[in-house]
Structure 1
């Protein structure tokens, strides 16, 4: 399909239609339709008129057509408008991805509201903090949300409770919603909050234009045919990627609940029952599938392609999967929340025998990934490490009300500093090889845990607030098939050396994937020459003492000297 067709989106509904564009002001004669704003919702509904009866979404075993999705989005828009919500208002959504969350996303965009997705299991303290940052005007609770209506009412004075297809909206309408404003491509479509090194979550602000540019590339690269399986939680940008990949080409997305995705055998049964043809996930999911039901993977005869990202994909994982599914297409996805994605690398079959790692390739058409060394000089020689800088129209606008942090990652072009162009400094290191770029680590303390971005400093700051804790150092380690967060803690009070209490303390403020899986209580922490915690030494210390004497399986005490 041509790019001009992609830009046009679906045709506006007539005034009598229940469609999303009902009541919208008609375009003035003489203006070409290509000038119509390209909004997130219009991209996701671009096939609603040509394929109204086709299945768009399968969620919790229920199928919904494109026509039903359009109608649901229109109903959400009416409810939001009735509450007096207006252009620029932030709407937080604490729910699992599915029919209602997509409907709400589309409705927010059409009103000019800002969609702020949260994982359903996010703790109340973190929800409160983010809602205050963005001055949320509405908090939507969906199926699977950990909070109750009473808790939500304390966070904002207006809230919505979603239960299946029956949505109850509670709250006092705004008396004066203010003057009408048009929704433009430059308006904020959504904000996704990620871990922040300062201890406060960072809000990644994406405009409609940037998101749709990425959505187009996603739809073209993923080329979904049939049913796409998705396990990404709502607050993870891969959930948006999956939605765009399927709905952008008129295919079907199957949202698989977390309670199923976390259990490999149940996930296997779901993939088989739903006849999923393409699956998106982090590589860890497939490592767990190989471990627990590897002998049955060959029975997934409908599965033709997997797209994996958020973590490093290993040669061993690819080879093990193809030993069970010889024709399986594997695509290695690379990108950041600040641009959703920027590279899709089809892994050759078979993987060359001399490859030690799977490349991330090169940027999709319309974007460019460049390597620069610490002096800002372009790296062009193979095997020489450099930091990845991204040039693309799909980049974020900045971090929510944080100009200082934004200025550290949206930087002048090192080769043309006077051009005024800003590049995304990713913090990822890579080397150039025959397959394009190959990931080579990070230049900071950010890690990926099951595809989620984690700033280790944020966990350390959380632990430092616990009673009796003098100092904490956090690192990530590999154990079996998983990434584990390990916290090394020095306490002033012996009673504070309790992993269960510290874990509960972390759960009150951090999402589950950031809560340390192991605790080590030490006399002191190793330090670098600059006086900071030496994380490499912590990792080596865990390897040395991981199988030593323990007080419990998750509570170790080791002597550590500076």
Structure 2
């Protein structure tokens, strides 16, 4: 536990990314922030608040510290003749006047020890006349002038410590800020270029305070160049005019251009583009006759057979959107999705009918039984106009309330994403792409459709497919233009395939859907060798239409996890505070995504939609941002480093899992009084562990609980470990103590 001050707040610590690299021992440097030109405005603010200039300068420093950390309670350290005091880092003050008043009242004596936060991580503020009289500023440090620019005249061998009588020594604190009536002197041991950024932030805050005592104190005050980078240059994808055509219309055009080319390879046979288009047209006619229409949903419950792509395209050609229903899912989950989505039509085969329960008042089209009657329908397309804003599909993802939630994805966002994958992935060759993931997992979208946009084949691998056979199946069909998979699959292939097979496997492999380690990337690139199959990363939750960013790797980065990549065309990706303000480079925040790919929302969940899909303050009127729940920070080179989740959602084998859903299902069992589920193990082999308090008079039956969950949850949501506990361990903050739970395994 980190020691607290009198208020219970922990001592402020500098951002991890700002600290020098472990093992390095850099000399301290200084930066000078001039504020004499702001004297009138700062003095007026002090007068309004009934305080003095040092308190105003301290408030400015407090504001800067507030921008350097996440929204928990922290205390700054302030030194004067009476010793070191704690001052709460005020984050909620609406105006500069309110901030100064609150800082003036927030000072209190230190209580307790802060030894667990090393001095190298801490910041100290001092104020008063400097030893030896006023300095002329020629101190060899960086300078933030009245125009906001920062200069670095040169580096002294040592740094004069304010109040030290002119002695030269290395400060113990990672940052010291000394304020006098003309300037702030920042002395720090920071990784470059963060001292310059810090000086600019102090200058921007002081300028805003002097300009208007009632100005906005909640807004981020970044250097203009840094603000332009994090809200523009780094966070905004290229602007491209994609036109109004939907994916199915573009595939129709491709079928007209290359009718005899192979569109689908499955079970040793091929389907041409002409055959695919005509089969889809016939299915569309059958669905339209049963009431399929724009924004209605048609359930599609099929394995990777020759019927899959004609069925999906047929739904779109009928004007409707599709609801993917993986036959491998438990029957109860399939029925819940059909009912929750209000499906009036389901497209499937006889073998899957018992698990589905036909929708009340709706219809089920059995493709195997109705094959002859469907084949007798005209092969020409329906007369239709597809609005790009209509639904393309609804995919259900794990939900924290115990039930999955349906994400509504529109045609415009899907077209924007798939056109990018056609340009970036499919253009790597002519061999198309293999499909081996569930249709309920949107990771496979580019493999299903991007080849069809470019005249290439889609390879449907056997279903079901033992993971142990994946390497052999892929090697037999190589070379592909691209293969998209989870990092777990990539890890498996790096051991199952020979270096020669890896070298010639594809024009590109993409690892997505889960945390991608630099070590895995390094191993793959080493096995592939020069000129071999390159590897890329892709990032994006379902709510922003499959993927929002990506990057092809030339070498593994220095970070533990591969960065998230650059935004794709017509999208944005910001790192913001909970007030939607940008965070400085190197400071953690939450990832928010905007642009064409943002989904419509959650089906019949208006409250949750309003919570996660927010007005975009940086976009065009009416545009929205999706709040991902992912933590990240910008690096100095403009890459975006993934740091984990802000909630209890995890990724297991590439699937997004809400731990709350598993806990809710466990609590449904009569023998369970309480349950907690956590993710355990390293990123590459993460699994789930369930900790169960048995109901009174019962004992935990791990096999029975596993069977209970297997009846309602997919396999990837089943805990690998079940542990009986007497009570749920809690931290001093009242949260579940996951460290204690992990120690019970």
Shift of 1:323: 2.4
5+ residue gaps, structure 1: 8-36, 170-179, 547-562
5+ residue gaps, structure 2: 1-238, 375-382
Q: Distance in 1 between matches of 2:739 and 2:458?
A: 40
**TM-aligned CA distance change 1:210 to 1:235, over 3 Å:** same
**TM-aligned CA distance change 1:152 to 1:389, over 3 Å:** closer
Equivalent residues of 2:503, 2:527 under 8 A apart: no
The structure that has the greater radius of gyration is 2
**TM-aligned CA distance change 1:87 to 1:262, over 3 Å:** same
* 1:281-305 deviation per Cα after TM superposition (whole angstroms, max 9, x unaligned): 00001222334x2556646634332
* 1:505-525 deviation per Cα after TM superposition (whole angstroms, max 9, x unaligned): 111211221121211111111
Counterpart of 1:83 in structure 2 is 290
Counterpart of 1:289 in structure 2 is 493
Counterpart of 2:707 in structure 1 is 504
List aligned pairs for 1:173-322, cutoff 5 A: 183-222=386-425, 223-225=427-429, 226-260=431-465, 262-263=467-468, 266-277=469-480, 278-291=482-495, 293-295=496-498, 298=501, 301-322=504-525
**Structure 2 counterpart of 1:460, from 663, 682, 685:** 663
* 1:193-239 deviation per Cα after TM superposition (whole angstroms, max 9, x unaligned): 11111112111111222221222222222234223122221011122
Q: Distance in 2 between matches of 1:239 and 1:94?
A: 16
Equivalent residues of 1:507, 1:515 under 8 A apart: yes
* 1:154-195 deviation per Cα after TM superposition (whole angstroms, max 9, x unaligned): 5455212344995888xxxxxxxxxx9854222212111111
Counterpart of 1:555 in structure 2 is none
Q: Does 1:441 align with 2:644?
A: yes
Shift of 1:110: 2.2
Q: Does 1:62 align with 2:62?
A: no
CA RMSD of aligned residues (A): 2.7
**TM-aligned CA distance change 1:541 to 1:134, over 3 Å:** closer
Counterpart of 2:741 in structure 1 is 541
Equivalent residues of 1:362, 1:368 under 8 A apart: no
3-state SS, counterpart of residue 490 of structure 1: strand
Counterpart of 1:425 in structure 2 is 627
TM-score normalised over the length of structure 2: 0.62
**Structure 2 counterpart of 1:74, from 274, 281, 289:** 281
Equivalent residues of 2:549, 2:567 under 8 A apart: yes
**Structure 1 counterpart of 2:654, from 445, 451, 457:** 451
**TM-aligned CA distance change 1:67 to 1:485, over 3 Å:** same
Q: Does 1:366 align with 2:573?
A: no
**TM-aligned CA distance change 1:61 to 1:531, over 3 Å:** farther
Q: Distance in 1 between matches of 2:294 and 2:741?
A: 53
Counterpart of 1:397 in structure 2 is 600
**Structure 2 counterpart of 1:332, from 534, 537, 556:** 537
Equivalent residues of 1:120, 1:234 under 8 A apart: no
Q: Distance in 2 between matches of 1:162 and 1:446?
A: 37
* 1:62-90 deviation per Cα after TM superposition (whole angstroms, max 9, x unaligned): 22111111011011112213334444432
3-state SS, counterpart of residue 45 of structure 1: helix
**TM-aligned CA distance change 1:167 to 1:494, over 3 Å:** farther
Q: Distance in 2 between matches of 1:510 and 1:333?
A: 27
* 1:86-134 deviation per Cα after TM superposition (whole angstroms, max 9, x unaligned): 4443211122245422222222222222210022211111111111112
3-state SS, counterpart of residue 345 of structure 1: strand
Shift of 1:529: 4.8
Q: Distance in 1 between matches of 2:372 and 2:566?
A: 44
Q: Distance in 1 between matches of 2:677 and 2:422?
A: 38
Q: Distance in 2 between matches of 1:530 and 1:302?
A: 51
3-state SS, counterpart of residue 365 of structure 1: coil
Shift of 1:423: 1.1
The number of aligned residues is: 491
